[in-house]
């Protein structure tokens, strides 16, 4: 529409701009408002309400699943990590669109052996090195 590039930033931030006697409005460079995309990433912590708050309705929630064995709860507390069950309960409360576990203990040689138990709480995916995901807007 011949809008000077120097005006775009202000227009994208909702300002109406008058340049050389011509009025430009935000709708000339912006589409309809839409919900953004959200990713919540959390490791090296014990469960807190803030994690649940930040992960609520996230498009992707990536959370540590340090220990699967309940006998390691004392280690989790001592070293400020989460049990897989604790993280899955956060997922169940936050209801992200997708949740991945990562940051497993080196002692968890096959973390996905807990899959059946954990997915009864929330449908968590057990991520591996190299995983990627393309997030797209709902209207695309």
Residue 131 lies in a domain: no
Q: Mark whether 111 and 63 lie in a shared domain.
A: yes
User: What is the per-residue pLDDT across 79-115, written as a single tens digit (0 to 9) for each?
Assistant: 999 999 999 999 999 999 999 999 999 999 999 999 9
For the whole prediction, is pTM greater than 0.75? yes
Q: Mark whether 1 and 68 lie in a shared domain.
A: no
Q: Average pLDDT, stretch 43-48?
A: 97
Looking at the structure of the chain, the number of domains it has is 2
Q: Mark whether 62 and 94 lie in a shared domain.
A: yes
Q: Which of 81, 103, 92 is nearest to 56 (CA)?
A: 92
Tokens of 89: 């309960």
Q: Which of 37, 40, 42, 33 is nearest to 56 (CA)?
A: 40
Find the distance separating the first CA and the last CA of the chain, reported in whole Å.
24
Residue 137 lies in a domain: no
Q: Mark whether 9 and 68 lie in a shared domain.
A: no
What distance in Å separates the CA atoms of residue 48 and residue 92, rounded to the nearest whole number?
14
What distance in Å separates the CA atoms of residue 68 and residue 38, rounded to the nearest whole number?
27
Domain of residue 93 covers: 39-126
Q: Is the pLDDT of residue 140 over 60?
A: no
Q: Mark whether 86 and 122 lie in a shared domain.
A: yes
Q: Mark whether 54 and 7 lie in a shared domain.
A: no
């Amino acid at each position: 529409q011949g809008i000077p590039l120097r005006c775009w930033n202000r227009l994208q931030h909702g300002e109406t701009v008058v340049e050389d006697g011509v009025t430009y409005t935000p709708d000339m460079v912006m589409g309809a408002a839409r919900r953004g995309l959200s990713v919540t990433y959390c490791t090296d912590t014990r469960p807190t309400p803030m994690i649940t708050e930040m992960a609520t309705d996230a498009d992707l929630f990536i959370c540590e699943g340090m220990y699967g064995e309940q006998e390691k709860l004392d280690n989790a507390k001592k070293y400020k990590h989460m049990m897989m069950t604790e993280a899955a309960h956060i997922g169940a409360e936050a209801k992200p669109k997708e949740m991945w576990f990562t940051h497993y203990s080196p002692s968890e040689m096959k973390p996905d052996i807990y899959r059946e138990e954990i997915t009864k709480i929330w449908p968590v995916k057990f991520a591996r090195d190299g995983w990627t995901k393309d997030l797209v807007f709902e209207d695309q």
